[in-house]
Structure 1
Amino acid sequence: MAASSLRCIAFAHTEIEVQEQVDDQEHKNLLKEDGLTLLGLVGLKDPCRPGVKKAVEDCQRAGVNVKMITGDNVFTAKAIATECGILKPDQDMFFSSAVIEGVQFRNYTPEERMEKVDKICVMARSSPFDKLLMVQCLKQLGHVVAVTGDGTNDAPALKEADIGLSMGIQGTEVAKESSDIVIMDDNFSSVATVLRWGRCVYENIQKFIQFQLTVNVAALVINFVAAISAGEVPLTAVQLLWVNLIMDTLGALALATEKPTKELMKKKPVGRTEPLITNIMWRNLLPQALYQIAILLTLQFKGKSIFGVEEKVKDTLIFNTFVLCQVFNEFNARKLEKKNVFRGIHTNKLFLGIIGVTILLQVVMVEFLKKFADTERLNWGQWGACVGVAAVSWPIGWIVKSIPVPETPIFSYLKMKKSKKNSI
């Protein structure tokens, strides 16, 4: 019965004399533990909730190792874990240390625990200390650990974990206070939702950082080079403030509203020591920044002769081209790895609205706020040239995403060189 995930209760009876029924001193009923007649066994089924197996599969597909720690006996725990998908039916559980008891884990030496904790899938007959001990071991190995629980005895593990998730309905107040996230519907499938949205927020932050670094590198270089060579900067303080406004505020709002996609659950988890700015981001932003720098420097030194305009119109062309480059590059920032940056764009009305507002405000800045923005009006040909130059950001983004990048972070190579020099 236990192997069928049933919790077993035995019913038995015996006959005792009237004089033996009550203890005169303590006034307690006395009943001997032997000599009982077995009446029968009852198996209580605590079925898995609908959606638990799918949620476990989603987490495993996303690279998350799901472990079950329970107070049930080892056979019941094994059956429930198999039913949920934590264990495979043909998995060699005992010889591979996938299923153990809490006392066995507790009695391991620290070295044995660190060696075997990754292999453990189910821990039965465990105590609150065992759960806390497992969390500590996993964190020492560098894993990012999330713990779910609802009881008071789960509080130490919830507090110790990187992310503690407690149950909002059946969870105790102690568990809720010790956790970081409260699951209001007590549904394990919400854990997969938390994982998906967490990855979405993390990726949106990376998108904005990539976008913002491109803006800052281009603006810094063009002003620095122009200041050294000509003694004047093409982008005034008001124009730079305007760029920061639309790129920091509106840009962040546009990229932060991207909704999670199915592809997020197919990626590997991000370790606690991995850099926020990845090799993929460097690959995407450096070509865009170099292209913008090349275009802006060309306009700075050859703009007057190319367009046959005065100094002030040339500076307006630089400003307008720079802003429009960021507008087009904002589309590239929507996808860090995918070439098709327009996929699903119709579902994000806020992104399209922000792009439209940015373009409208830029037209107002150039054409109508001459004194405030220190700009000159541009004709249709000059506007077309600015848009055409900025639109080249799209094919550049498509081409650079075909370039493979190593998985090892760039700056880790520098650390390796330093360590080799120190060892020498």
Structure 2
Amino acid sequence: MGSATVICTDKTGTLTLNQMKVTKFWLGQESMEERNSTSISDNVLELLHQGVGLNTTGTVYKSTSGPEFEFSGSPTEKAILFWAVMELNMDMEKLKQSCSILHVEAFNSTKKRSGVSMRKKDDSTINVHWKGAAEMVLAMCSHYYDVSGEIKVLDDVERKKFDQMIQGMATSSLRCIAFAHKQVQEEENEGEKVNKNLKDSNLTLLGLVGIKDPCRPGVQKAVEACQYAGVNIKMITGDNVFTARAIATECGILRPNQDISGAVVEGEEFRNYTPEQRLEKVDKICVMARSSPFDKLLMVQCLKQKGHVVAVTGDGTNDAPALKEADIGLSMGIQGTEVAKESSDIVILDDNFGSVVTVLKWGRCVYNNIQKFIQFQLTVNVAALFINFVAAVSAGEVPLTAVQLLWVNLIMDTLGALALATEKPSNELMQKPPVGRTKPLITNIMWRNLLAQAFYQIAVLLTLQFGGKSIFGVNTNVNNTLIFNTFVLCQVFNEFNARKLEKKNVFKEIHRSKLFLAIIGITIVLQVVMVEFLKKFAGTERLSWGQWGVCVGIASVSWPIGWVFKCIPVPEKPFCSYLKWQNLKCVCK
């Protein structure tokens, strides 16, 4: 996640609160916001009750405590049922007793609608009801009801007016849902049973509702934080273009005056591009409206082909392919299905996009901490290997015994990893561009830092190896102890340098790293015990206060050396690329 360059996010529940409410209702071409249900003709009101109460996956039941009614189902279904019960006085139980369901066509993510055929028990009339995305249901209609309940022809002029109403609601960030019906004869219904398809042509439009799903508080700041960190946000939604554009602008994914040509596309348009066109245009796309799960998968595949590290959020079963295909799959813990959670790498427990930003920050923190430890560990290994090799070749003996090397590895591997890998994320991490897919783990900056410290330690230790006895007037055992002690203390001081790979001030915010300071203290205490009290085990000799002071003084020079070398710029092109390792080929048989 620390290397993510693109986040493909859902809208509902992630960018928005997923607390939907019907705020607009159009009957014919007249808004019904200031009218009550008594102003609607009885026949239209009855059909609306049927279209809402029977063509739904939600339920309404009377509560034993608290509010009079409770609602279940998806947020959209609950919003529509709440509106029908409270505003249109729909009685769910009475409705179910008066009608019988004949056939159900479940919601389809491609067609964006659901349907049901039902028979009234008192007069045996059969109606087919459809509910779904307004522009798609409107395309199936040839007539509409006006406020008085009269049926009127839906010609091109009237259709254009309805299109403008739908666009107006969508521009106001409303999800527009349409209801339509058709009365069918018994023989037509028998044909439906054979074909297993409900009549979906020459319908009569019952009405339009606009559902508001407000953006989450702080989502705009979260989007800005990602964009500032060099991570592109792409919103993929099933809503129409106008609603998607309005929400994307409200969340900060689109700028208010941004040229949206190529930035907003529909799923069908993206799907119909050639592979070359998709690869050419995918970077510019910020919003994909009216998308299907396949469109989402297609976008993830295109982005990966372009070299992006892609994170995807999803909550439905249909999102599983995209979650698996993505480099990082992020499922929603509240609305997410079990299939989506199993297909993902990370579960966002609160379904909030702000938590995705937290994941991004922690991912970068972990990646950065790994780099710190690698730099620190390589410095230790390079210095220890070199000094022992040179001493063994020149003098036939090594200054660092096997026990001492094991001790160095123990405190540097275990305690060093704990100290550097437990640093908490800082806001500085979100001020850098993402690492991406192809950049090396060991950067030029890390090579500069570790080589500077390694060369200094090698120079000091070789000086002590070949001239320490004469400089300090000590015997071989004491000199070897001085080498061992200086070497360990150099790593302790260098651990501070490793805290900041680029910053010169290695003590910044060190008060926040209490575990780091505790581990440094434990390392020093253990080293004192090793030198002063475990002479036989470690092969050391006790050192005087002056000798301890010399060891600390030599080791402390690591700080100014680290500061000086961080002033030296390094090229952005990785050192490894000069060796052209990527051109080497091997043949395996």
TM-score bracket, normalised by the shorter chain, equals over 0.9
Cα displacement (A) at 1:47: 1.5
Structure with the higher helix share, 1 or 2: 1
Deviations 1:300-345 (A, max 9, x none): 0000000001011110000000000000000000000111111111
**1:104 deviation in Å?**
1.0
Q: Would you say 1:6 and 2:174 are equivalent positions?
A: yes
Q: Equivalent of 1:58, from 225, 239, 242?
A: 225
Residue 83 (1) aligns with residue 247 (2): no
- Structure 1 unaligned blocks of 5 or more: 420-424
TM-fit CA distance, 1:27: 10
Which of 48, 53, 58 is 2:215 aligned to?
48
Question: How far apart are 1:131 and its partner, in Å?
Answer: 0.6
Distance (Å, rounded) in 1 between the aligned partners of 2:180 and 2:483: 91
Aligned partner (choices 230, 238, 241) of residue 74 of structure 1 = 241
Map 1:412-423 onto structure 2 (within 5 A).
Answer: 412-415=577-580
What is the distance in 1 between the residues matched to 2:540 and 2:189? Answer: 101
- The yes-or-no answer on 1:206 pairing with 2:371 is yes
C-alpha displacement at 1:46, in angstroms?
Answer: 1.4
| Alignment match, 1:365 | 530
**Correspondence 1:115 to 2:283:** no
Cα distance in structure 1, aligned partners of 2:260 and 2:180: 34
Q: Rg: which structure is higher?
A: 2
- Displacement of 1:174 after TM fit? 0.8
Tell me how far 1:416 sits from its aligned partner: 8.5
Q: Whose RCO is larger (CA < 8 A, sep 6+)?
A: 2
Residue 26 of structure 1: CA displacement? 3.0
Three-state SS of the structure 1 residue aligned to 2:210 is strand
- Given that residues 21 and 31 in structure 1 are in contact (C-alpha distance below 8 angstroms), is that contact kept between their aligned partners in structure 2? no
Give, in whole Å, the separation in 1 of the partners of 2:394 and 2:427. 50
Q: Residue 291 of structure 1: which of 444, 447, 456 is its match?
A: 456
Distance 1:131 1:224 in 2: 57
What does residue 189 of structure 1 align with? 354
Residue type of the alignment partner of 1:413: Y
In the TM superposition, residue 41 of structure 1 has moved relative to its aligned partner by 3.4
1:26 matched to which residue of 2?
A: 190
Query: Which residue in the other structure is 1:218 paired with?
Result: 383
CA distance in 1, matches of 2:574, 2:513: 32
Say whether the 8 Å CA contact 2:174–2:213 is kept in structure 1.
yes
Taking structure 2 as the reference length, the TM-score comes to 0.67
Query: Considering only aligned residues, what root-mean-square deviation do their CA atoms show, in Å?
Result: 2.1
Residue aligning to 1:281: 446
Q: Distance in 2 between matches of 1:275 and 1:47?
A: 42
SS in structure 1 opposite 2:433?
coil
Q: 1:68 to 1:24 in 2, by over 3 A?
A: closer
Point out where structure 2 has 5 or more consecutive residues left out of the alignment: 1-168, 585-589
1:102 aligns with 2:270: no
TM-score between both structures, scaled by the size of structure 1: 0.93
Distance in 1 (alpha carbons) for counterparts of 2:300 and 2:180: 41
Q: Partners of 1:417 and 1:187 in 2: how far apart?
A: 41
Shift of 1:72: 1.1
Return the letter of the residue paired with 1:117.
V
Q: Would you say the 8 A contact 2:192–2:199 is kept in 1? A: no
Residues 13, 279 of structure 1: CA spacing in aligned structure 2 closer, same or farther, 3 A cutoff?
A: closer
Of 129, 132, 135, 2:297 maps to 132
Q: Compute the displacement of 1:9 (Å).
A: 3.1
**1:387 is aligned to 2:552:** yes
1:342-353, aligned counterparts within 5 Å? Answer: 342-353=507-518
Secondary structure of the 2:329 match is strand
Q: Are 1:307 and 2:472 an aligned pair? A: yes
Per-residue CA deviation, residues 53-72 of structure 1 (Å, 9 max, x unaligned), is 11111111111000011111
Tell me the secondary structure at the aligned position of residue 378 of structure 1: coil
Q: Percent identity, aligned pairs only?
A: 81
1:100 partner SS? strand
Give the structure 2 partner of residue 403 of structure 1.
Answer: 568
Q: Greater shift after overlay, 324-333 or 44-53?
A: 44-53
Greater fraction strand: 2
| Alpha-carbon displacement from aligned partner over 1:380-422 (angstroms, at most 9, x marks no partner) | 1111100000000000011111111111111112218969xxx
Counterpart of 1:41 in structure 2: which amino acid?
L
Deviation at 1:25, TM superposition (A): 5.8
- Please name the residue that 1:256 is paired with: 421
Pair 1:177–1:417, CA change in 2 (3 A): closer
Q: Are 1:22 and 1:28, in contact at CA under 8 Å, matched by a contact in 2?
A: no
| 1:199-252 C-alpha deviation (Å, 9 max, x unpaired) | 000000000000000000000010000000000000000000000010000000
Are residues 87 and 25 of structure 1, via their aligned partners in 2, closer, same or farther at CA, if it must alter by over 3 Å? closer
Instruction: Specify whether residues 219 and 42 from structure 1 end up closer, same or farther in structure 2 by C-alpha distance, changes over 3 A only.
Output: same
State the one-letter code of the partner of 2:441: L
Q: Distance in 2 between matches of 1:110 and 1:248?
A: 48
Going from structure 1 to structure 2, the CA distance change for 1:112 and 1:8 (only over 3 Å counts) comes to same
- Cα offset, 1:281, TM superposition: 0.3
**1:72/1:25 CA distance change after superposition, 3 Å:** closer
Determine whether 1:242 maps to 2:407.
Answer: yes
Inter-CA distance 201–35: structure 2 relative to 1 (3 Å threshold): closer
Which residue does the alignment assign to 2:33? none
